[in-house]
Chain A
Amino acid sequence: MKNYLKSKLIVKLLAGVAFSMPILLFAQDGEPTIKLSIVEKDSVKICKAVVTTDSKPVKGTDVNFFVKRFFGLMPLAKAETTDENGEASVVFEKKLPGDSAGNITLIAQLDDDETIIDQVVVPWGAKVKFESGMNEKALWASRANAPLYLIIISNVIIIGIWGTMGYILYLLFFKMKKSGIGYNP
């Protein structure tokens, strides 16, 4: 009985240690957050990210800066390390196409944890005028946008040939019988 109680106590102790170990090992002050902002100084465009944990700046952590593109994220520069203020910044030098208003999406992401991100939309891109090929006259376009030369050529041929056949049908249906009236072989 004594042994049984002893072993049960040991099992409970071991279980308690097992559960408490990860908590002890990974316990931190709080989840880090990232805040992206932009600064424009004398036409120099700067992306600035501030990393904090419980409102305290985090020093020495790497931050990646990206621009959101159609099929993924395009890095703006190599990862920047935060200073004692928890700040990391890169200069935006690229000339990139944006949307029709010139907007692009900047993203700051913690290198250690890719889920911790922040993004801002800025009008730093070139304005792109989207032209749909569907409205052009082309061989591959829709029925209504067939090339003019094709419409003209095909219609000339069709009208020429069907016009000739129409003339023959006119002769057959309207002239043939009349031409025989009064004729006595």
Chain B
Amino acid sequence: MEKQIIESEKGVKEMLNISSEAEEKEKYRLMEEKLLLYKETQNDSAENAKIEKYRIMEEDLLRPLQKIGMAGKIWIGFLIAVILCGVYAYYLQEARSKYETISLRDYTMWGVYISTFVFYVALSLVGALISAILKLIKFEWYRPLSRIAEIIAVASIVMAGVCIVAAMGRPERLYFLLTYGRIQSPIVWDVIVIMTYITASCLLLFMPLIPGIVTCRDRLTDKPGWQKWIYRTLSFGWKGSPEQWNIVRKSVKLLAVMVIPVGISIHTVTAWLFASTLRPEWDSTNFGPYFVSGAFTLGAAGMIVAVYTFRKVYKLEKYLEEKHFDYLGKMLVLLSLCYLYFNVNEYYVPSYKMSTLHADHLMDMFTGKTAPTYWLVILFGIGIPAVLPMFPAMRKPLPLTIIAGLAVIAAWFKRYLIVVPGLSHPFLPIQDVPKSWMHYFPSLVEMTVIAATFAALLLIITLFSRLFPIISLWEVAEGDGISIQKISKPIKK
């Protein structure tokens, strides 16, 4: 009996153990489920927070497109007025004798027109720098800046073409360059590469813009008919299907890879225009990289100024952050040091030899009449941008923008110093020529035309930023791991 009781007790205990093990397992399962649910909820709420952030961002980006204030209208009016003055000046240049209207002569046959052309070509390289190089090496901070870089690239390369036409005169004969141009001529290479870069930059600007245009089409319903028509036409039937996203991503990747060699080519060919012309100053094998490094420096400086302006005017401080200025500042230092290196190659080596061919021109730069401009350009265009942003305090938005703004101005004068004194010092001494051939100073007509090209550049950027969002929302969201489709879907509660 006792034995039976002991056995039954044993059996109960075993049963109890089994049931407790099952309970334990059940308990753990429930706990795991709860944990999973908790995690999911946490993830959802984090994602929801991000989606909410991007919805606010979308609102902020569309705000400048809603209405142009009085200041904006005055700005656009001012730019149009300057452009009209430039058109009239160009009409005078073409209608009257060029000997009266402009200062270009036999020796200095390229003046401010070609200086500004080189400046614009250099500025346009910012598209390749920000939208392509940073993108391909996966520097994620490029994302909010890519569209600003691309519109600067497009506007400046278009204005570079305008400067060439202004310098050549007789625009109705422009097509002769294609019908009679020789492929052996660097001028023809330049025409080809400029047209290629314009097309590539426009595509690189436009392809990632399509989702933004669709946002405008769907959200800005109170806009005038022509504007809605633009949004409708340019959205190319976009519905956000995976195939459409695939097309956009594939195109952007292809263009980003392609725009780097094209961008470098455009500035190298521009350098060859000089290097293949018979002038001692330009007789340099260093000219290609010297021009490209200068273009990257100018691109970075121009980018800083543009980012600061958009940040302030459109109140985009939340998206164009201080960290962007920090990175751009560091980039400016690196690029300025590269530019300094090529400048040392360009000026130090010939000045060490000081051959009779170069001496006249170099001494004019170092100690002569051109010296104040030359040294100011070196200081503000290379020295200060290479040194000051090394200090974190100088990489704050305002100080960095002042440094970059001065570097942009210096960059224009740098191109002027390459073009004009270079032409004024030919291989053979200038003798027995009219006085006006010996010195060059731009005429009022030339300066007005150049001012008009600057106004047109700013007008293109202004109008673009008033028609389309200046930051690519989907690219920023994608960098944050958020799909753009989710931003337009209701948030999970």
Say whether A164 faces chain B, with CB atoms less than 8 Å apart: yes
Verify if B356 is at the interface (C-beta below 8 Å from A).
no
Give a binary string over A163-185; 1 marks a CB under 8 Å from any B CB, 0 the rest: 01101110111011101110111
- Contact, CB under 8 Å: B247 / A175: yes
- Assuming the contacts A140-B184, A141-B184, A158-B192, asked whether A164 and B254 have C-beta atoms less than 8 A apart, the reply is yes
Complex contact B184–A139 (CB within 8 A):
yes
Q: Mark B190-216, 1 if CB is under 8 A from A, else 0.
A: 001000100110010001001000000
Across-interface contacts of B436 in A (CB, < 8 A): none
Which residue of chain B has its CB nearest to the CB of A185?
Answer: B240
Q: How distant is the Cα of A73 from the Cα of B247 in the complex, in angstroms?
A: 77
Q: Would A146 and B182 count as touching, CB distance under 8 A?
A: yes
Q: A119-145, CB under 8 A of B: which get 1 and which 0?
A: 000000000000000000001111100
Q: Are B180 and A168 in contact (CB under 8 A)?
A: no
Tally of chain B residues near chain A (CB < 8 A): 32
Q: How far is the CA of A158 from the CA of B193 in the complex (A)?
A: 9
| Chain A residue with the shortest CB-CB distance to B200 | A165
Inter-chain CA distance A147–B102, complex, in Å, is 38
Bound Cα distance A147, B184 (Å): 8
Question: Chain B residues with Cβ under 8 A from A172's Cβ?
Answer: 207, 236, 247, 251
A interface bracket (residues with beta carbon within 8 Å of B): 20 to 34
- The answer to the question of A85 belonging to the interface, with a C-beta cut-off of 8 Å to chain B, is no
Q: Tell me if A161 and B184 are in contact (CB < 8 A).
A: no
Q: A185 to B183, Cβ gap below 8 A? A: no
Q: Which residues of A contact B170 (CB under 8 A)?
A: none
In the assembled complex, the Cα of A175 lies from the Cα of B250 at a distance in Å of: 13
Q: Does B237 contact A (CB under 8 A)?
A: yes
Q: From residue B415, how far is it (CB to closest CB) to chain A in Å?
A: 26
Q: Which residues of B contact A171 (CB under 8 A)?
A: 247, 250-251
B262 within 8 A of A: yes
A183 in contact with B184 (CB, 8 Å): no
> Are the CB atoms of B199 and A185 closer together than 8 Å?
no
The residues of A that contact B255 with a CB separation of less than 8 Å are: 165, 168
- CB contacts (< 8 Å) of B258 on chain A: these are 161, 164-165
Provide the residues of chain B in CB contact with A139, threshold 8 Å.
Answer: 184
Q: Which of B180, B183, B199, B262 contacts A146 (CB 8 A)?
A: B183
Beyond contacts A179-B246, A185-B241: 4 other A-B pairs, Cβ-Cβ < 8 A, are: A168-B203, A171-B251, A183-B244, A185-B239
Residue pairs across A and B with Cβ atoms less than 8 A apart, 8 shown, are A154-B192, A162-B196, A165-B203, A168-B203, A176-B244, A179-B246, A180-B243, A183-B240
